[in-house]
Amino acid sequence: MFKTKKIEDLNIPQHIAIILDGNGRWAKKRHMPRTYGHQKGTENIKTIAIAASKMGIKALSVYAFSTENWSRPDDEVSFLMKLPGEFEARFKDEFKKHDIKVMFSGRKTHLSKENLEILERITEKTKERQGLVLNICFDYGSRAEITEAIKIIAKKVEDKQIKIEEIDESMVEDNLYTRELPKLDLLIRPSGEIRLSNFLLWQAAYAELYFCETYWPDFNESELMKAIVSYNNRDRRFGGLKNK
């Protein structure tokens, strides 16, 4: 455990997001196929979700599969599409024990019928839980999310349910996948890359950003604690000035 601060002395972010990056490079360093890295990365979702739950974090959004990931080699995509079923089979008891609710953010138009049924089943079985909300962003892209929200609002205008002048930021937020989650406080990207890669662009407008060199399969509770300590050292003004 990272010893610089005690968890009880810290301001705990309500909503943390993590880009699950570095699985392939982690596997390559071990002379293993990229799919081995994705396997270990999936297992680490459980580890970090449980750690976040114990820390008192309310919501954890993880970038598991992007709208751009379909362009990867067919064998890698095929492997990744098997992960929802494995996720359900392996982690359901652990998540039940920690009262973790699971939701999914992303497009539903490109997934197989089998995977859609798995996602719906997990969502239904965990919807009444009161602990951490684990938001798995699967076939997710922020531009697609915002575009979908615009279409929903435009249809309401077309149907004369609302007037154009009634459209504001709150209405946009109410039509995003994350509308039921707390505002995003902290966005973490492991692996050494320093970009958002089309992840939670609207939500990250005033989130704190944290980048580290650790590949996702090695990102543990200690690394999460380091990110939270860094978050506590930020001066969050949201565009304004603090009172003297």
CB neighbourhood size of 114 (10 A):
12
Whether pTM exceeds 0.85: yes
Of 49, 125, 131, 62, residue with least CA distance to 88: 125
Active site residue 21: yes
Cα 71 to its chain centre, rounded Å, is 21
- Residue 53 and residue 131 in contact, taking contact as beta carbons nearer than 8 Å: yes
Active-site annotation holder among 44, 69, 115, 218: 69
Residue 1 is predicted with a pLDDT of 43
The single-letter code of the amino acid at 225 is: M
Active-site annotation holder among 21, 115, 135, 185: 21
Query: What's the pLDDT band for 241 if we cut at 50, 70, 90?
Result: low
b/e for 13-46, b at 16 or more Cβ within 10 A? bebbbbbbbbbbbbbeeeeeebbbbbbbbbebbb
Q: Which two tokens stand for residue 20?
A: 């699950």
pLDDT per residue as tens digits for the range 83-127 = 899 889 888 888 999 999 999 999 999 999 999 999 999 999 999
In the chain, the percentage of residues whose pLDDT exceeds 70 is: 95
Helix axes 83-97, 113-126, angle to 10 degrees: 10
Q: Is the pLDDT of residue 178 over 60?
A: yes
pLDDT per residue as tens digits for the range 46-95 = 999 999 999 999 999 999 999 999 999 999 999 999 989 988 988 888 89
